[in-house]
Amino acid sequence: MLLLMTGIPAIADFVVNDIKAGISNKILTINGGLDLGLSSKADEALNKGIPLDVWFDIELCRERRLIWNKTLQTWRIKRQIRYHALSRQYLVTRDLKNPESVENFTSLSEALKFMGNFNELKLAVSPEIMKKYNHLIKVRAQLNIESLPAPLRPVAYASPSWHLSSGWTEWKIQH
Partner 1 sequence: MEDSTLNRYTTGIKPLAVLSALLVASLFMMNAATQNSTLFGDIYSMLLVINLVGMVLLLSLILINLYRLVVQYRAKVMGTRLTLRLFLMFVLLSVIPVTIVFIFSVQSLNKGIDSWFDVKIKRALDDALLLGRTALDARKQDMVKKGKDIATELEGMPDKAALTSLNQLREQYNITELTLFAHDGKVIASSSQKGLDISSLVPERPSEEIMSQIRKGLPFSSIDPVGNGGLQLRIVVPVYAENVAGPLRTLQLNQQMPIRYTKLGESVQNAFAEYEKLVYLRGPLKFGFTLTLSLVSLLTVLIALWAAFFSSQRIVAPLKDLAEGTHAVAQGDYSKKLPVPGNDELGVLVKSFNEMTQQIHQAQKQSRRSQREAELQRAYLETVLTHLSTGVMSFDRGQHLRTSNAAAVNILEAGLIDEEGQSIDQLLDSHPHLSPFITAIKEGVSSNESEWKTEITLESRAGSRTIMLHGTQLPIFRSRRGGYVVVFDDVTELIRAQRDAAWGEVARRMAHEIKNPLTPIQLSAERIRHKCMTSLSDKERETLDRSTRTIIDQVDSLKSMVNAFSDYARQVQTVPKEIDVNGLVRDVVELYHTDAVIITEENHGKKEVQDQDMVIILTFDPRLAHITADPGRMRQVLHNLILNALDALKQSSTPSLRITTQNLEKNNQTFVQIRIEDNGPGIPAELLDHVFEPYITDKEKGTGLGLAIVKKIIEEHHGFIYAENLEQSGAAITMQLPASQNTTMENHNDTNDSPIQYREHKA
Site for partner 1, rule CB under 8 A: 44-45, 48-50, 84-89, 91, 99-102, 104, 106, 110, 145-146, 149-155, 157
* Helix or strand (DSSP H, E) at 112: helix 108-115
Nearer to partner 1, 102 or 123 (CB): 102
Smaller CB separation from partner 1, 127 or 151: 151
* Distance between CA atoms of residues 44 and 37, nearest Å: 13
Nearer to partner 1 among residue 35 and residue 110 (C-beta): 110
d(CA 125, CA 129): 7
Q: How far is the CB of 48 from partner 1 (least distance, A)?
A: 4
Please, which residue, 74 or 87, has the CB nearer to partner 1? 87
Please tell me the number of Cα atoms within 13 Å of 100 on its side-chain side.
Answer: 0
Please state the closest distance from residue 149 (CB atom) to partner 1, in A. 5
Residue 120 CB, shortest distance to partner 1, in Å, is 16
Contact present, 5 and 17 (Cβ < 8 Å): no
As measured in angstroms, the least distance from the Cβ of 90 to partner 1 is: 11
51 contacts 80 by C-beta, under 8 angstroms? yes
User: How near is the Cβ of 58 to partner 1 at its closest, in Å?
Assistant: 24
Residue nearer to partner 1 on the CB measure, 43 or 73: 43
Burial of 161 (C-beta count, 10 Å sphere; 0-12/13-18/19+): middle
Element (H, E) at 154: helix 152-158
